[in-house]
C-alpha cells in the first residue's frame, strides 16, 4: 500500500508540474513563432481577462509565466552547481581502500569518503551512487552499516535522487499550487519507509535500521540542504520511521491538509475547464 501511495503521489505531482510547464512553454514559443493559441491555457486566461475588462491583469499573467520559467532555470542551474561542487569535494576525500572493500561486499559501487559528519546518501542524476562517510562507518557496527548500505542502495536502484530533485523543484518553483508541498513531504516519508523495509528484508532484522536511526537522531545533520540531487539516510522523518519499525502495522499518515488540497483542486479544475473553452 505504501508503494502504491508513493507512486500515486509522484505521478500526481509530475502531472501537475508537466501540465503547467507545458502550457507556459507553449505560450512563450507560440508568442515567438506565431503558433495558433486557441487551446492554450495562458491565451484562454488572457481572453477571459480581456472579455471582463481586466486587461491590465494580462501583464500579471505574463509576469507569472516569465517568473515561473525563469525561476525553474535558475533553480536547476544553482542545484547542478552545488551538486558538482559537492561531488568534486567528496572525490578528493575518497578512502580508496574502504571503497574497494565495501563495493566488493555489496556488489555495487559504495564510495567511502573522509568527513567529520556521519553521512549516508544516494546521490546523482542518471547514474546515482551510494556515499558513506568515515565518521558514519566509525559510529555504526557492521550490522548497522549493512542496513544503511542496503537502504541507500534501494534509493540508488529506484533513482530516488533525481525524483527527489524533480519534486523539490516543482515545490519551489510552482509554490502557488500549495498541495505540491504537502505531496512532496508525504512522498519523501513513504520513500524512506520503503527503503527501510528493503534494508530489513536484506538483513533479516529490524535491529540494524532501528539502531542506526537512533544513533543518527543524536547526530543529526542538515545534509539535504547542500544538494537536492541526494537522498540522505538520516534527514527525513526519523521518529515516524522508528515508530514504523517498532509497530509494523502502523499506518504512516498521508499529510495533505484539507485547505491546500481543496484550493489546489479548485484551481486545477478551473484551469482545465478554461483550457477546453474555445474563445
Q: What is the pLDDT of residues 62-102, one digit of tens each?
A: 777 888 899 999 999 999 999 999 999 999 999 999 999 99
Q: What is the pLDDT of residues 183-238, one digit of tens each?
A: 888 898 899 999 999 999 999 999 999 899 888 877 766 666 667 777 877 766 77
In whole angstroms, what is the distance from residue 163 CA to residue 251 CA?
A: 23
pLDDT at position 41? 55
CB 125 within 8 A of CB 161: yes
Task: Quote the pTM value.
Answer: 0.84
CB 17 within 8 A of CB 165: no
* Mean pLDDT of the region 44-54: 59
In whole angstroms, what is the distance from residue 34 CA to residue 28 CA?
A: 10
Which of 51, 27, 53, 29 is CA-nearest to residue 39? Answer: 27
Which of 5, 9, 19, 1 is CA-nearest to residue 272? Answer: 19
Amino acid at each position: 500500500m505504501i508503494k502504491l501511495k508513493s507512486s500515486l503521489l509522484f505521478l500526481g505531482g509530475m502531472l501537475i508540474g508537466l501540465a503547467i510547464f507545458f502550457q507556459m512553454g507553449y505560450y512563450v514559443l507560440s508568442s515567438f513563432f506565431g503558433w495558433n493559441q486557441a487551446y492554450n491555457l495562458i491565451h484562454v486566461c488572457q481572453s477571459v481577462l480581456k472579455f471582463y475588462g481586466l486587461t491590465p491583469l494580462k501583464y500579471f499573467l505574463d509576469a507569472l509565466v516569465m517568473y515561473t520559467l525563469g525561476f525553474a532555470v535558475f533553480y536547476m542551474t544553482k542545484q547542478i552547481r552545488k551538486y558538482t561542487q559537492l561531488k568534486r569535494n567528496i572525490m578528493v576525500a575518497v578512502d580508496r581502500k574502504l571503497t574497494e572493500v565495501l563495493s566488493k561486499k555489496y556488489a555495487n559501487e559504495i564510495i567511502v569518503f573522509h568527513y567529520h559528519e556521519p553521512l549516508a546518501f544516494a546521490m546523482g542524476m542518471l547514474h546515482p551512487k551510494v556515499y558513506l562517510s568515515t565518521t558514519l562507518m566509525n559510529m555504526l557496527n557492521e550490522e548497522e552499516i549493512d542496513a544503511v548500505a542496503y537502504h541507500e542502495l534501494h534509493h540508488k536502484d529506484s533513482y530516488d535522487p533525481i525524483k527527489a530533485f524533480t519534486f523539490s523543484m516543482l515545490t519551489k518553483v510552482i509554490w502557488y499550487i500549495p498541495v505540491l508541498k504537502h505531496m512532496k513531504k508525504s512522498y519523501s516519508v513513504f520513500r524512506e519507509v520503503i527503503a527501510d523495509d528493503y534494508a530489513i528484508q536484506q538483513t533479516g532484522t529490524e535491529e540494524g535500521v532501528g539502531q542506526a536511526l537512533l544513533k543518527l537522531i543524536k547526530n543529526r545533520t542538515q545534509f539535504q540542504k547542500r544538494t537536492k540531487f541526494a537522498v540522505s539516510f538520516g534527514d527525513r522523518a526519523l521518529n515516524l520511521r522508528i515508530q514504523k519499525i517498532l509497530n509494523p502495522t502502523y499506518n504512516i499518515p498521508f499529510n495533505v491538509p484539507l485547505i491546500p488540497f481543496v484550493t489546489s483542486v479548485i484551481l486545477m479544475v478551473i484551469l482545465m475547464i478554461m483550457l477546453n473553452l474555445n474563445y
